[in-house]
Structure 1
Amino acid sequence: MSAKRTSQPTADSVAVLVIESSKFERRSLCRLMRAAGAQRVAEAANLEGARHLLAVRQWPHWLLVADPDRLGEDCLYVLRDLAVEQTLATALLLTQRRQPEAEGLRSRAAQCGLPVLAVMRKPLSAEQAGTLLRGLGQPAATATKAPSLSRDELNECLRSGRVRARFEPKINLQSGRPVACEAISYVSHARYGEVPAAGFGHAMAQLGAQRVMTATVLRDAAALVRSLRAKSLDAKVSVNLGYEVLSECGDANALDAYVRTLGVAAADLVLEIDAGRHAASPNFADNLARLKLRGYALALDHPATTLALDNPAHEHFCEVKLSWPDATAAHSAPEHQSLAAAVVNARKQGMTACAVGVRTLADLTHARQAGFEAGQGELFAASMLAAETVLWVEREERNRSFADRAQTLNQAS
C-alpha cells in the first residue's frame, strides 16, 4: 500500500475550502468552520477560484464545502475533477432542499464520481460541522466511508480481472418505457468488497487506465447482449465512453475492431459519450462521425437539465441522457421548465431524452409534472448483475406484451 494510504486524516490535517458566490454567506461559513474546530479555512468565490487556490496551496486533505444549487449545473462534475487532482479531497454539500431531494443530490454526486462526506441542510450549525470534522479524524468513522482504491490496488484489480459491470435500466422520458440497460463499472476488492466508480476514479486517472476499463466494461456488456439475444430479447446495452477513449486519431477504428472480436454487432450497443468541453477537438469529432457511420447509436451523456441547441457536435447523437435525480429534485416551476425544455430541445435535434435512476412511479409523476407523457408500469431500476438484468428485461417484455394486447382488445370493443 502506498504511503498516501497509510496515514489516516485527522481534524488538524484537514483544510476546509468554502466555495460560495455570496460574500456574506461565504464569510459566515468560514467563521462557522473555525468555530467547529477547523484550523485551516480558505475561501473561494467560484469554482475557478477554487481550482487556482488548490493549485497553489498544497495540503494532505481538503474538505470542499459547497452548495451545488448556487454554483451552476456542472458544479458536481467540476468538484469531482478538483477532488481527483488532489492527494485526498472530500466534499460537504449544503442544500436548502428537503430530505428526499437532498438524497437525490447525494445520488447525483455518486453518479458523477464525487466523494461526499455528507449532504447537510442549511443552516448548518457549528455543532454539526464539528461532528463532521471530528469524524474525519476517527479511524472507525473513515472505515465506514466508501473505500477509495490506490493506484497500486486498482492496477492489481485490473490485472486479476476483478473489474466488472453491473447494469441499470435506462428509461425513455417521453414514453416511460425502459429502452436499454446501462453498464456501471465496479471493482470487486478482496478487502473492501464492491467498490463503485467513485472509489477508483482518482486511481484510474493516475494510471491512465480509461481504455483498459472501457475494454473490460465492453466485454461484460457484450456478454449481456449475447444472453439477451439467446432469449430473443432486443433490449440494447449502453456503455459510457470518456473523452480519453476517443481523443486520438484511429480510436474509432480500434474500438470498432475490439467490439467485433466480442461477437456483437454495432447496432446492439449504445455508446454514451461525455463530450463536455472537448467537443470541438478535431480527432474527437472525427471519431464520433466514424462510429456513427459504422452503425453505433451514440448518446450524449449530459450532466444537466438544460441542453443547448447551438452545439454542432450534437448532430452525431441520437439520444441524450439526463441525470434523473435532477428531475426528482426539480421542485420549483423554473426547474420544471428547465427540465421540460431539455427534452423539447432534444426532440428538436432529433434526439430521444432518457434517464437512469428512475425507480418508482413517483418519479414518473415528477416527469408528468414537468410536461412529459410518461407511461405507466412497474419499474425496477436497481443496479443488477447480468443474470438479473436478463430476468428484468423478460419481465418488462411480458408486461409490455400484456399491455399491448389489452389495448388492442379495448380498441376492438
Structure 2
Amino acid sequence: MPAPRDLVASILVVDDSEVQRRHIADVCREFGFGRVDEAASGESALEMLATRPPPQVVVVDLEMPGMDGVELIEAMQRCGLLLPLVVVSSHEGSLIHTVEALARDMGMPVLAALRKPFDAEVLAEALSHADSVAPPPRAEPVVLPPAEHLARALARGEVAVHYQPKVCLRTGLLRGVEALARWRHAEAGEVPAGRFVELAEANGLIVALSFSVIDTALGHLAHWCSRGLRLSLALNLSPRLLTTTDLVGELLARVRDHGLEPSQLVLELTEGSVVAAYDGGIGVLTRLRLKGFGLSIDDYGTGYASMSQLARIPFSELKVDRQFVHGASKRHSQRMLLESALETARRFDLVSVAEGVERLADWRLLQSLGCDVVQGYFIARPMAPECLQPWLKLHQSRLAALRPPTMPGPSDT
C-alpha cells in the first residue's frame, strides 16, 4: 500500500452498506487520513457537508435507497462542493464510467471509478493522488478587456507565444512544437486563450492576431533551425482566415522570408472549422497541401467530422482529443474510442497525434496502440521559447525510460 501522505487530511465515506462502509473507512485510516467520517445515505452526507469542514475526498456508493450516488453528486455540485470523488458501485463498468464522465462534466475532480469488490491496494492507489487533484479555488467570472485593448496589445507586440513539445512515441525524441498564444492584460491578468480568440473573431481582429502569432512563431522556429534543431511547427488556424485574400500566398511569403519550408508547418483546424471549411474553404486547404503545408484535424472525436469529411479534405494529421486519452488505460469504453480514432488515422494514412498525455500509463497505452506522436503534461507544459532548449537537455535523460521495454536504443534522430 502506498505510504500515507501528510497532505491527506479528511475523507467522507458514503455507503448504505455498513460492512462496505466500514471496510473502506478502515482502509482510509490505514492510509493515514486524520479524520474519517461515515454516512449511510446521501441525505446524511449532505447534512455533514453543510455543518462540518469539507473533507479532502468523498467516496460515493452509487446504489443507495432514497438519494442515490448520482443525486448526491449533483446536489454537491449545486452547492458548490466540487470535492474530489471516488465513485464505487457493484454495477457493470460502463455504468460506473458514465457516472465518472458525468461528474467530470460537472467540474468534479474524480480520483477513480471502482467496481465492487475491489482490493484495498486499488483504493489506496486512488487516494494517493488526492493532494494533486484538489479542486481549484472558485474562480471569479472572467471579465474580458475591451477589443481595443487587444488591438493595442497586437500593435505593441504584447501577445506572446508559448510552445508545447510534441514527441515521437516510439523513441521519445522531440519532433515538433505547437504554438499557443498568451496574452497578459495589465488589469485582467492572464486572459484565457479561447476567450481572447473569440474576442478577436467577434471584432475583426482575428487576421491581425493570427499573423502576429504566425510571424512570432516563424521567427522562433528559424532560430531553432539555425541551432541545428529541425522541428515541425503546429499553428491553430481560425476558419475566418480561409476567406482571407490570397492566404496561401501570404503564408508562403512569410515562411520563405524566414528561410523555412512549408513542410515544416502544420496548420490545425478544429472539427467545427472543418464544417465551416465547406463554405469555400476546401479549395484553400487543398492549395495549402499542394504547396507542402501539413493540415491537421484537431480535437478529433469531439465535433462533427466524419470519414466522408476526412476523405474530402486533404489532411496529413489527426489529433485525438485529450478526453479520449487520459485515463483510457483504466476505462474500457474510453479505450475503445481511442482505438477507433487511431484506426481511422491509419486507414487514411494520417500521422496520429494524441493530446492530454498526463501519466506514464497513458504513454504506454498509446505505444501499444501504435500512436505516432504525443503531447501533454507528462512530456511538458507549454513554455516560453527560451525554455525549449534547456527543457530538451533534461528530456534527453528520460529517453531510455520512455522507449518500449523491448526496444534497443536507436540511432534515430
Report the TM-score when normalising by structure 2. 0.59
After TM superposition, list the pairs within 5 Å mapping 1:393-412 onto structure 2: 393=392, 396=395, 407=409
- The verdict on how the C-alpha distance between 1:206 and 1:219 changes in structure 2, with shifts beyond 3 A counting, is same
Correspondence for 1:238: 234
Correspondence for 1:355: 354
Which structure has the bigger radius of gyration? 2
Correspondence for 2:295: 298
- The verdict on how the C-alpha distance between 1:386 and 1:95 changes in structure 2, with shifts beyond 3 A counting, is closer
1:283 aligns with 2:277: no
Q: Distance in 2 between matches of 1:271 and 1:151?
A: 26
1:324 aligns with 2:322: yes
- The verdict on how the C-alpha distance between 1:175 and 1:96 changes in structure 2, with shifts beyond 3 A counting, is farther
Q: Distance in 1 between matches of 2:390 and 2:365?
A: 27
Correspondence for 2:213: 217
Q: Note the aligned Cα RMSD (angstroms).
A: 4.4
Conserved? CA contact 2:143–2:188, under 8 Å = yes
1:243 CA drift (Å): 0.7
The C-alpha deviation readout for 1:89-121, integer Å capped at 9, x for no partner, is xxx9416772479xxxxxxxxxxxxxxxxx999
1:297 CA drift (Å): 1.5
Q: Distance in 1 between matches of 2:352 and 2:324?
A: 14
Correspondence for 2:180: 184
Q: In structure 2, the residue corresponding to 1:153 is in which secondary structure?
A: helix
Q: Distance in 1 between matches of 2:250 and 2:134?
A: 45
Conserved? CA contact 2:162–2:179, under 8 Å = yes
1:221 CA drift (Å): 1.2
1:400 CA drift (Å): 5.9
Conserved? CA contact 2:167–2:173, under 8 Å = yes
The C-alpha deviation readout for 1:297-350, integer Å capped at 9, x for no partner, is 221113427973222555511111122343114342121011011011101101
Look up the equivalent residue of 1:310 and give its one-letter code. S
Higher RCO, 1 vs 2 (CA within 8 Å, ≥6 residues apart): 1
Q: In structure 2, the residue corresponding to 1:246 is in which secondary structure?
A: helix
1:271 aligns with 2:267: yes
Q: In structure 2, the residue corresponding to 1:295 is in which secondary structure?
A: coil
Look up the equivalent residue of 1:211 and give its one-letter code. V
1:167 aligns with 2:163: yes
Correspondence for 1:338: 337
Q: Distance in 2 between matches of 1:408 and 1:301?
A: 30
- The verdict on how the C-alpha distance between 1:375 and 1:282 changes in structure 2, with shifts beyond 3 A counting, is closer
Conserved? CA contact 1:222–1:263, under 8 Å = no
Q: Distance in 2 between matches of 1:401 and 1:328?
A: 22
Higher helix share: 1
Q: Distance in 2 between matches of 1:215 and 1:225?
A: 15
Report the TM-score when normalising by structure 1. 0.59
Q: Distance in 1 between matches of 2:151 and 2:110?
A: 40
- The verdict on how the C-alpha distance between 1:385 and 1:333 changes in structure 2, with shifts beyond 3 A counting, is same
Q: In structure 1, the residue corresponding to 2:381 is in which secondary structure?
A: coil
Alignment length (residue pairs): 296
Q: Distance in 2 between matches of 1:156 and 1:285?
A: 33
Q: Distance in 1 between matches of 2:263 and 2:398?
A: 24
